[in-house]
Structure 1
Amino acid sequence: MSILQDLRQTPRLGLLVGGAAATIGVIYGYDMSNIAGALLFIAKQFNLSTSEQELVTTAVVAGEVIGALVGGWLSNRIGRKACMVGLAVGYAAFAILSAMANDVPTLLVARLLLGLTIGISVVVVPVFVAESAPAKVRGALLVAYQVATVFGIIVGYLAAYALSGTGSWRWMLGLAAIPAVIVLAVVIKLPDTARWYMMRGRTADARRTLAAIEPAADVDAELSEMQRAISDERGGGFREMMRSPYLRATVFVVGLGFFIQITGINAVVYYSPRIFEAMGFTGNAALLLLPAVVQVASLLAVFVSLSLVDRLGRRPVLLTGIGMMVAANVLLVGVFMAGQNFGGLLTVLGFLGVLLFTVGFTFGFGALVWVYAGESFPSRLRSLGASAMLTSDLVANVLVAAFFLTMLQRLGGAGTFAVFGVLAVLGFFFVRKYAPETKGRQLEEIQHYWENGGKWPASAEPTAAPDPDPTRADDLVQAGRP
């Protein structure tokens, strides 16, 4: 059965959750790219230096770090839905505040607050989707968030180009309020997740929500499994994540989050116009439309990833994407080393290098971050685990946003992409060593991978049926089977 058939059979509530998450992805992506276009005009209006341009870009990322730090705690405290409602309101308010800024300090504060909202969203949204989606389409709906993010990046570049003739950077920033209002209208009608209701002792609400999402499931059995998993988890805090059996899971998600950003993807998103300018491109059409073309190609890559993640598996998709990034870095280093005078074939190869780099990222890292953020921890640790992962991701993002233009000036394109290439190779071997293959496994089952020292027990198969032999009950629990 194809993924489209699976999605058609998914109940309306599950699709609404995925749609709301996707719309937030559009806003997230739009903000990432529209600052690249807006910065061309903000820099002129406020006469910004290179370091000041990096500061304007970094302000939102610094806010994201703070948001990611509190996102897991807030999600457990007030609920996934309440966080989603707050996110929609915050997106709209701070996008408008950014657009109304009349000086650099006001713009920095507005961008910091917008980043705070984004930081919470990148923690809460994967958890909300993972806990609300049927297992057979969970990976697809989590990847759909990345699809929406890339779509938002494309829209951001196109909006910047459409408004570039007038230099209307305020409209570029303020338009993000429109999808935020749409998210609010959808999310406010949704229930919270069944797992969060069970964590709060609201069994009736959990039963009603689970029945709406998976009508064919044995609801009582699912609720019993959730309750057992919650009861077995003691503490539910960062201290528990830092000791056995979940220390290995923590190392994995924190390391994965760091490699996702330190390998340089947001340098390309935030500063594509500057990179293409260094390759000899000129004019708003080239500097703003070429990045959009790159993102269209990366969007196609995400659709391919979407079709494979629940069939081929998480690890093959992720490793293939990182391998493409390594190859792209090699190409870009060669182009910049040979590029005394860009033009003709050399410029084309440079564009293709950026294209391959971005496609590789969205196919692998970009798609799988949301999958692993939602799958890697048991329910009471899931939000905190996603928070730790995304905090690591955003700390690396701060480093890239704050220093990329300086690196480009001092190391040149060859030196800069050589650094990213080395980091991508390290990321490849990290993923190969630590990433579990979670395809087809229930969320409650995945925790047993970590409890078994980072290995699937030999008897544990995805979606395996219970063994009828009651004398093996303890073995089945250790194997992660229902």
Structure 2
Amino acid sequence: MPNATSISAPVIRHGFLWKVSLIAGLGGILYGYDMGIIAAALIYVRSTFALSTQMEEVVVSVVLIGSLVGAVAGGAASDRFGRRAILLWGGAVFAVGSLLAPLSPDVWTLIFARVLLGLAIGFTSVTAPVYVSEMSPPHMRGRLIALYQFALTLGIALADLAGYELAGSHAWRTMFGLGAAPAVLFLVLVLTVPESPRWLVAHGRRKDALSVLSAVSDVAGAQALLQEIERSLSVAVERRWSALFTPTVRRSLLIAVGFTVLQQVTGVNTIIYYGPRIFSLAGVSSDKAAIWATFLVAAVNVLATVIALVLVDRIGRKPLLYIGVGGMTLSLVVLSFAFHSKAMAGPMLGVVAMSCLMVYIACFACSMGPIAWILVAEVFPLRLRGRGAAAATLGSGASNFLVSLTFLSLIQAAGNSATFAIYAGFCVLTLLFVRFVIPETKGIELESISASGSSATA
């Protein structure tokens, strides 16, 4: 990748950037809450509707089917109608799904509600990181995009805390219904943010784009940013799905889709969805204690994401990935050995399992978690950024669906030890992918990243 000089405006209005990034990031809280709440709610949904193991897996994973559809539809729609419009649609669907789930009279209505929530997740997870990337200067872009992942982890932690507090009353309907409040708040706040200036330029709205850029920078900086965006658009790129497979974009597609798939197959969402079940397998007998242990893991997830916010624009993407994925690998190997060892049983196994999962989630949170969203938002050219993000989200959602749908069955067929050893193997594969495929994008202007074809792997 060429050494591109970032276009630093004489004045950057950091307060404005943080405001719009935090509002867009609120979609991550909704994503995290609706993904995380199933861990606690499933215990009581299972007894309410007398679910089989297979139906449990369906209730958990069906949200991912909705997210796949939402990703494809949201990616193309955000390129056509704008990033802000799709964030609004996402907030509205979140609110509807969050109200329908607690009112479900049967499991099929609950499944439909979770499909709606999945659609909203697809809309926002495709659009929010792209929107933030297109608003941010290079020296802040990594941490501003990582706010989305931070919000996601916060949503998961809030879900686990709500599950713990409501576990005594078995109030799974209230657990789901609490998600409606942040959904409505998100919908209202998105009305206060502007459209992406890069999207506006791409659609011929130069005056509107300059107005938004003037809120980010002073007059000279806004003009310089506008000129750079216009230069990037002078390279003809067709706005259609097949353009993702052209030689100039194909490598970006490999980076984004390959990395988001690996993010899922290393097993992170088995902890989010099935945390209480994993702790039960490790000997934690009380449902409430298992939910509390899952919350502690989620709290570590939030705190470790702060490390990524601080370091991702300082030391770069790849060093964090080497450290984080290496730690994930080691913790899964130890967890696999603990389940395999006959000497480690009873309370000791529970302690080891909790320690390993905390190390694992901390390493994930300061590396793969936020950096996947950062890379997806960085590597594609402007005219294809929505579709590129949709393709990556589609790959992530499909692999997440397969992992969540098969986890319990894999545990039954292969055993606890082998299951976590398989996830450790995927971590090793991820390290190789980081070494030979992932570029370092720290401090590079978006237009320069996409223009280079993301060819550097140093």
- Same fold per TM (> 0.5)? yes
The answer to whether structure 1 residue 118 and structure 2 residue 86 are counterparts is: no
Aligned-residue sequence identity (percent) comes to 35
Alignment partner, residue 22 of structure 2: 19
Alignment partner, residue 230 of structure 1: 233
The answer to whether structure 1 residue 150 and structure 2 residue 153 are counterparts is: yes
Alignment partner, residue 442 of structure 1: 445
1:145 maps to amino acid: Y
The 5-angstrom pairing of residues 200-239 of structure 1 reads: 200-215=203-218, 217-239=220-242
Alignment partner, residue 465 of structure 1: none
Alignment partner, residue 361 of structure 1: 364
Answer yes or no: is the 8 Å Cα contact 2:438–2:457 preserved in 1. no
Q: CA deviation at 1:300?
A: 1.8
How many angstroms apart in 2 are the aligned matches of 1:386 and 1:140? Answer: 18
The answer to whether structure 1 residue 303 and structure 2 residue 306 are counterparts is: yes
1:405 maps to amino acid: L
CA spacing shift, 1:232–1:324, aligned 2, 3 Å:
same
Q: 2:421 aligns with which of 418, 422, 425?
A: 418
CA spacing shift, 1:120–1:445, aligned 2, 3 Å:
same
Gaps of 5+ in 1: 1-7, 458-482
Deviations 1:88-133 (A, max 9, x none): 1111111111111101111111111110111111100111111112
Gaps of 5+ in 2: 1-10
Query: TM-score with structure 1 length normalisation?
Result: 0.90
1:324 maps to amino acid: G
Alignment partner, residue 247 of structure 2: 244
CA spacing shift, 1:216–1:288, aligned 2, 3 Å:
farther
How many angstroms apart in 1 are the aligned matches of 2:440 and 2:184? Answer: 37
How many angstroms apart in 2 are the aligned matches of 1:390 and 1:77? Answer: 18
Kindly indicate whether structure 1 or structure 2 has the higher relative contact order, using CA contacts under 8 Å at least 6 residues apart.
Answer: 2
How many angstroms apart in 2 are the aligned matches of 1:16 and 1:9? Answer: 13
Q: 1:338 aligns with which of 334, 338, 341?
A: 341
Q: Which moved more, 1:234-243 or 1:427-436?
A: 234-243
- Structure 1 SS opposite 2:367: helix
1:366 maps to amino acid: G
- Structure 2 SS opposite 1:201: coil
2:47 maps to amino acid: K
How many angstroms apart in 2 are the aligned matches of 1:258 and 1:338? Answer: 31
1:300 maps to amino acid: L
- Structure 1 SS opposite 2:452: helix
Answer yes or no: is the 8 Å Cα contact 1:91–1:177 preserved in 2. yes
Alignment partner, residue 189 of structure 1: 192
How many angstroms apart in 1 are the aligned matches of 2:111 and 2:153? Answer: 25
Answer yes or no: is the 8 Å Cα contact 1:16–1:186 preserved in 2. no
Alignment partner, residue 5 of structure 2: none
Answer yes or no: is the 8 Å Cα contact 1:448–1:456 preserved in 2. no
The answer to whether structure 1 residue 268 and structure 2 residue 271 are counterparts is: yes
Aligned length: 448
The answer to whether structure 1 residue 316 and structure 2 residue 312 are counterparts is: no
Deviations 1:330-362 (A, max 9, x none): 111110001476223332111111111111111
How many angstroms apart in 2 are the aligned matches of 1:321 and 1:440? Answer: 21
Deviations 1:409-462 (A, max 9, x none): 2211101001101111111101211111110111011123317xx1389xxxxx
Alignment partner, residue 170 of structure 1: 173
Deviations 1:163-214 (A, max 9, x none): 1111111110111111111112211021101011111111110000011012
Query: TM-score with structure 2 length normalisation?
Result: 0.95
- Structure 2 SS opposite 1:218: helix
The answer to whether structure 1 residue 375 and structure 2 residue 378 are counterparts is: yes
The answer to whether structure 1 residue 401 and structure 2 residue 395 are counterparts is: no
CA spacing shift, 1:339–1:35, aligned 2, 3 Å:
farther
Answer yes or no: is the 8 Å Cα contact 2:283–2:349 preserved in 1. no
2:449 maps to amino acid: I
How many angstroms apart in 2 are the aligned matches of 1:90 and 1:60? Answer: 13
Q: CA deviation at 1:86?
A: 1.2
The answer to whether structure 1 residue 455 and structure 2 residue 456 are counterparts is: yes
How many angstroms apart in 2 are the aligned matches of 1:120 and 1:340? Answer: 48
Q: Which moved more, 1:337-346 or 1:356-365?
A: 337-346
How many angstroms apart in 2 are the aligned matches of 1:344 and 1:111? Answer: 35
How many angstroms apart in 1 are the aligned matches of 2:35 and 2:219? Answer: 40
Answer yes or no: is the 8 Å Cα contact 1:134–1:214 preserved in 2. no
The answer to whether structure 1 residue 100 and structure 2 residue 82 are counterparts is: no
1:362 maps to amino acid: A
How many angstroms apart in 2 are the aligned matches of 1:221 and 1:268? Answer: 46
The answer to whether structure 1 residue 282 and structure 2 residue 285 are counterparts is: yes
Answer yes or no: is the 8 Å Cα contact 2:28–2:152 preserved in 1. yes
